[in-house]
Amino acid sequence: MLSSLSNCSTSIYLHFPHVGDNFYIMNHLNQIRVRFAPSPTGYLHVGGLRTALYNYLFARKNNGVFVLRIEDTDRARYVEGAVENLIDTLNWCGLEYDEGPNKEGEYGPYIQSERLKIYHEHTERLIQTGNAYNCFCTAERIEKLREEQQKRNEQTKYDKHCLKLSKEEIQSKLNEGIPHVVRLNVTIDQKVIVDDIIRGRVEFDSNLIDDQVLIKSDGFPTYHLANVVDDHLMKISHVIRGEEWLPSTPKHVLLYKAFSWDLPIFAHLPLLFNPDKSKLSKRQGDVAVEDYRAKGYLKESLVNFVALLGWNPGTEQEIFSLEGLVNSFSLESVNKSGAVFNIEKLNAFNFEHLRLKNDKDVLAILKELLGKSKYANHTWSDESLLLIIEAMRPRISFVKEIIENSPYFFEAPSTYDEEVLKKRWKDDSSQQLEKLIDEFSKLTNPVKEQYEEALHNAANALEISNGKLIHGVRLAVSGVGGGPGLYDMLFILGKDETIRRIRTAIERMK
């Protein structure tokens, strides 16, 4: 496919800074510096989280620096409060950056809209060296050009029309204040090589690369210019980003070349997909980290799950803390192929991480949820909430399920599950439970074993099996057929409440 290029007059063989098997030993940079460079569109996409995470892990693993840079060069997409939200979400995930907004390092500012002067100075250099030029073409002309090219089934690209303008013409147009952009002057017939840690060597034909706009007519740089200038100035050693950037990387390579700058090392991450393998999008479920946070996912599970989408430690371990991920992570073991974001597995991770959490943390979450629930006016002692947590933890994947699945710990049942009623409540149930109430009444401050003993006594006296009583009590006390062990439930509810609920049930079954 590249045979037509075999007689190219020039080839760019770019500096490929790897030594032996170790990509990380670099000649020109002695410090690992990576960046996460989102555009503030309002929320953190889970794909963005994965990119941020890999950058973070790589930095931490290699004693490097993790930079957060805000790419807000598209004024049309500006969203109020997006940067604050982004930082908040990143912090919630535990991905603390070393340099960035509100945490200035040597290479700031870290918000691109505050770096306009830098981009213009660099663009001026490019124009002077002939690597870029002013373009005064109207949107209409470009549109028409594109249409014609499409009609002829040609590659759609700018025709370098304004490159032919004389110095005088340019100056006079500039003086007239005619709107213009600055374009990259891509030389033809070159082979542009991108070396990527994950994908190996990828070659591009420069004839297929458009004279990319570098500075828009509003004076803001495009991503292509800004990211190259900033990555260089911020001494970024490794550019770790999504695969959607791979096709425009040759443009970036050409820019580095035009500036006579060394290349960073590239690593293009595989994409995340919807269940139908299309690019992960809002239409098919939640894509914002904030959504998962709101739904009660633990940051530990989200981070752990997302880490394993495209990377694995080479062992069979799946459950990791953030520290564990740092220790095991390497860019070489990142996969090439995209991965489906599978909620079921995320849920399973939440289940696992929920049981790894200590009681105190779960208690804090539960109290927060209760405060936002219909039980906001009630208060429970930490002691009893801890007992509820202990009873429910093996049965849930989310803390909120304690409230959803076992409301009977917080209020008496108002209805009884019909199916269970049919199956477990017989004609003689009421009478049997009366006997049980007698036994329970004899107890003072009973512990769970005493409930068991009392129930046993009642069953013996009635000459029935324990099971007969147990199911009836469970239903009377909880309204449902499932849940923690009966005696645990009774102990948590307490003697008085237990008896009250059994009485209510007997009354209502009449």
Partner RNA sequence: GGCGCUAUCGUCUAACGGUUCAGGACGCUGCCCUCUCAAGGCGGUAAUACGGGUUCGAUUCCCGUUAGCGCUACCA
Interface with RNA (CB under 7 A), residue total 83
Of the pair 215, 499, the CB lying nearest RNA is at: 215
Q: Which of 333, 379, 431, 460 binds RNA (CB under 7 A)?
A: 333
Binding residues among 50-109 for RNA as defined by CB under 7 A: 71, 73-74, 76-77
Q: How far is the CB of 417 from RNA (least distance, A)?
A: 10
454 binding RNA? (CB under 7 A): no
Catalytic residue numbers, as ranges = 282
468 binding RNA? (CB under 7 A): no
17 binding RNA? (CB under 7 A): no
Q: Distance from first CA to last CA of the chain, Å, rounded? A: 85
Of the pair 425, 487, the CB lying nearest RNA is at: 487
Q: How far is the CB of 35 from RNA (least distance, A)?
A: 12
Secondary-structure percent of the chain, ordered helix, strand, coil, rounded to 5: 50, 10, 40
63 by Cβ neighbours in 10 Å (0-12 / 13-18 / 19+) ranks as exposed
Cα dist. 487→306, 460, 476, 498 in Å? Answer: 40, 18, 14, 11
Stretch that binds RNA, among 95-103, 368-376, 425-433, 479-487 (CB under 7 A): 479-487
Of the pair 407, 483, the CB lying nearest RNA is at: 483
Bond from prior residue into 250 cis (ω within 30 degrees of 0): no
Of the pair 268, 299, the CB lying nearest RNA is at: 268
466-478 and 448-462 helices, crossing angle to 10°? 120
Instruction: Quickly count: other Cβ atoms within 10 Å of residue 211's Cβ.
Output: 20
Output the six-digit token pair for 359.
């009681």
Q: Where are the alpha helices (DSSP H) in 316-395?
A: 322-328, 343-356, 359-371, 382-392
Binding residues among 350-379 for RNA as defined by CB under 7 A: none
331 secondary structure, DSSP code: G
Q: Which of 203, 323, 368, 419 binds RNA (CB under 7 A)?
A: 203
Q: How far is the CB of 120 from RNA (least distance, A)?
A: 15
139 binding RNA? (CB under 7 A): yes
Stretch that binds RNA, among 85-93, 123-131, 137-145, 496-504 (CB under 7 A): 137-145
3-state secondary structure 202-244: EEEEHHHCCCCEEECCCCCECHHHHHHHHHHHCCCCEEEEEHH
Strand partners, 265: 238
Phi, psi for 499 (deg, rounded to 5) = -65, -40
324 binding RNA? (CB under 7 A): no
The three-state secondary structure class of 334 is strand
| Contact in structure between 116 and 220 (CB atoms under 8 Å) | yes
36 binding RNA? (CB under 7 A): no
Binding residues among 145-184 for RNA as defined by CB under 7 A: 146, 153, 155-158, 179, 181
Binding residues among 39-58 for RNA as defined by CB under 7 A: 39
Binding residues among 377-436 for RNA as defined by CB under 7 A: 394-395
Binding mask 264-293 for RNA (x = CB under 7 A): ------xx-x-x-xxx--------------
Q: Which of 290, 338, 363, 386 binds RNA (CB under 7 A)?
A: 338
Q: Which of 138, 327, 431, 441 binds RNA (CB under 7 A)?
A: 138
